């Protein structure tokens, strides 16, 4: 526009110096402005339609780095050059993503292999402790169970992004699942002097193995942050219209109000975890991550010094349809 304005000014000066009348000058300037305006309107509409289509394609793309493959064709040479450059850039990005995915896959496979190998000595130690009926054997069994729990956390964390490869949705008896988890951790609970009460008559459709892991983490947390006297844990269900609430409640030391919203964050240990000195901040993070994958809502309620309540809301139906649709 500035170039055109300068050109019009110079032309007007030239015409005036060559004795052209002002009428001719105005007619020439008017024609120039009319042609310029028409050209600008056509260019604006053309570019607007082009970029509107480009933006529409970008919004409908799940992987927006593939935009270069869906760029609309254009008669402009610069558009084609941009398109080719973006395609080359996208190709480089895709190759890099594949390299990262391959590296992650190899690492995950190694972790799963390592867990498989380490399970053998853990099982051997557990069997040996069964034959040792003294106090020393019980202490070894408790520590061995802690090691097994940490190994399970590694395995479930490695698989948490690919739940669909290792899940089986079936009708699950929550009373049975809770009983199995408590029996599995009985030595730790006995050592912690914790009483456990289970009242879960409801059945839900979920993956039994993943639910057992989540419950195990919640029970171990309750034992770790237990009350000094009369420690207890109560696991029960509440039937709602479209869901079943599985609640794990204890009378432990509770959580500070300012820390409660952060307990599901990755790596967050809080003041209780720092005092105990063995917290990793991964247990509740994994529980929430797996619950989301399984279509379960989880949250916590707590009062410092009075105890903690973890609530899991499991849909009675609709989980399988929701998740399979995602797949």
Query: DSSP letters along 192-220, please?
Result: TT-EEEEE---EEEEEHHHHHHHHHHHHH
Ramachandran angles phi, psi of 10, nearest 5°:
-65, -40
- CA–CA distance from 210 to each of 40, 111, 288 (Å)? 63, 18, 12
Nearest to 213 by CA among 249, 185, 181: 181
282, 157 Cβ separation under 8 angstroms: yes
Token pair belonging to 87? 């395609």
Ramachandran angles phi, psi of 84, nearest 5°:
-70, -40
C-alpha R_g of the chain: 34
Q: pLDDT tens digits for the chain (327 residues)?
A: 899 999 989 988 888 888 888 888 889 889 999 999 999 999 999 889 888 888 888 887 777 767 777 777 778 888 888 888 888 888 888 888 889 988 888 888 888 788 888 888 888 888 888 777 777 888 888 888 888 888 888 887 877 776 556 677 888 899 999 999 998 888 888 888 889 999 999 889 888 888 998 999 999 888 888 887 888 999 999 998 889 999 999 998 888 889 888 989 888 887 777 776 566 778 888 899 889 888 899 999 998 888 999 999 998 764 444 443 333
* Global pTM exceeds 0.85: no
The enclosing H or E element of 300 equals strand 297-303
- CA torsion sign, 134 to 139 to 140 to 142? positive
Q: For tokens 């896959």, what's the residue?
A: 105
DSSP code at position 302 = E
30, 38 Cβ separation under 8 angstroms: no
Token pair belonging to 169? 């949705």
d(CA 267, CA 273): 11
The CATH fold of domain 183-327:
Heat Shock Protein 90 (3.30.565)
- CA torsion sign, 199 to 203 to 204 to 210? positive
Q: For tokens 């480089």, what's the residue?
A: 92
- CA–CA distance from 53 to each of 44, 49, 77, 251 (Å)? 14, 6, 18, 60
């Amino acid at each position: 526009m500035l170039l055109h304005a300068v050109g019009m000014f110079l032309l007007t000066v030239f015409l005036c110096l060559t004795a052209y009348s002002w009428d001719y000058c105005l007619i020439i300037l008017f024609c120039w402005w009319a042609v310029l305006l028409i050209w600008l309107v056509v260019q604006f509409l053309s570019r607007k339609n082009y970029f509107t289509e480009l933006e529409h394609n970008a919004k409908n793309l799940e992987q927006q780095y593939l935009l270069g493959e869906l760029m609309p064709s254009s008669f402009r040479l610069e558009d084609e050059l941009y398109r080719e450059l973006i395609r080359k850039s996208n190709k480089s990005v895709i190759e890099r993503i594949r390299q990262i995915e391959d590296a992650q896959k190899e690492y995950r496979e190694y972790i799963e292999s390592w867990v498989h190998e380490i399970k053998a000595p853990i099982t051997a130690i557990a069997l040996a402790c069964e034959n040792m009926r003294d106090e020393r054997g019980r202490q070894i069994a408790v520590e061995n169970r802690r090691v097994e729990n940490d190994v399970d956390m590694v395995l479930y964390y490695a698989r948490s992004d690919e739940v669909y490869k290792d899940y089986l949705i079936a009708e699950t008896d929550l009373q049975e699942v809770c009983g199995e988890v408590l029996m599995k951790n009985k030595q730790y609970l006995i050592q912690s002097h914790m009483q456990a009460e289970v009242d879960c008559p409801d059945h839900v459709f979920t993956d039994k193995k993943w639910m057992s892991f989540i419950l195990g983490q919640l029970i171990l947390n309750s034992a770790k942050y237990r009350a000094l006297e009369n420690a207890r844990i109560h696991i029960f269900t509440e039937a709602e219209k479209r869901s079943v609430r599985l609640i794990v409640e204890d009378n432990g030391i509770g959580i500070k109000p300012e820390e409660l919203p952060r307990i599901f964050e990755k790596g967050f240990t809080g003041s209780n975890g720092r005092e105990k000195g063995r917290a990793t901040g991964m247990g509740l993070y994994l529980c929430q991550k797996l619950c989301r994958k399984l279509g379960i809502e989880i949250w916590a309620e707590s009062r410092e010094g009075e105890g903690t309540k973890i609530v899991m809301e499991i849909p009675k139906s609709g989980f399988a349809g929701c998740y399979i649709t995602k797949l």
